[in-house]
Structure 1
């Protein structure tokens, strides 16, 4: 149990297990942006919406990675926006970016897009986020709802997110990768 909890930190991915049937999270990949004793928060990476970023946040359109749409980040505050950027140089993080890992940062959408253009390789904007209270995510991980795995910075910026869950699972070591082909109900196998 201690090992699992040590893995729950900013920059890790949560892969929904087949047992997780909550419609907000079934088949999702969540990038954790913050995690501590008070709780955790992240964004769902593989739920693009049909809404073009330029229609709601026009100033940021040039920095957004393909597809240039808002992503449904989670069920909490879906009317709000949160952005994650891939940083060019981890040694040079200008105001307006809050580092999550050496290459990923949360973007202050009140900052000027022009001021961040040189520092940002790509960006994704999420409507809403996923949040957990103190101990809640640890309980869900211990209960088998989530697999906690390392993220690669480009995971959040792929043009096609539809195969992200399978590709992240495929690169996992040992028996964890076997879950990639596991049916939702093992008795149907």
Structure 2
């Protein structure tokens, strides 16, 4: 089972026994990985508030916001599949874009010109300082995989972690059945 090296577009799939409450049974999509550090967004944690509750410009739009991670919980980020309509985005990997003009994205959603299923909003992000992520990978806290639109924009939040492991096949498929706490087995 060879690990994929961390890079933009790679998924970090939490080991079944990872205890950190911020990342237990999560999948993180890395948007950037450099020697100085890495950052990405947790894909499978719903935040307590919707977009219209967080941003006045999104009034009347009760769109799900995801908990991107424990860093800078006063910021909103987004991933999308609309580079031709939302200017300023950065292509993370094949057809998945990070950021761009937030107000344009909101106006396009209001006008029905883009689908909610093709955009994900996150509060905060997940970040690692220089060497930190590599240390966690060495400790086997994460399993790496390539990000895909299917997982990034998955319709069933509760299935993302399991589906990410199932896509890897082989021995990884068995991990989906591991209990949260092996002592309770």
Q: TM-score scaled to structure 2, two decimals?
A: 0.83
Q: Look up the match of 1:139.
A: 135
RMSD: 2.8
CA contact (8 A) 1:61 1:68 kept: no
The reply on whether 1:76 has 2:68 as its aligned counterpart is no
Q: Look up the match of 2:171.
A: 175
**The 10-residue stretch of structure 1 (145-154 or 110-119) with the greater mean CA deviation from structure 2:** 110-119
SS at match of 2:176: helix
Could you tell me which runs of 5 or more consecutive residues in structure 2 were left unpaired when the two chains were aligned: none
1:82-123 CA deviation, whole Å, 9 max, x = no partner? 1111237xxx58632111012111123455235798688711
The reply on whether 1:103 has 2:103 as its aligned counterpart is no
Deviation of the 1:13 alpha carbon:
0.9
Match of 2:7 among 1, 6, 9: 9
Distance 1:93 1:99, change over 3 A: farther
The reply on whether 1:42 has 2:37 as its aligned counterpart is no
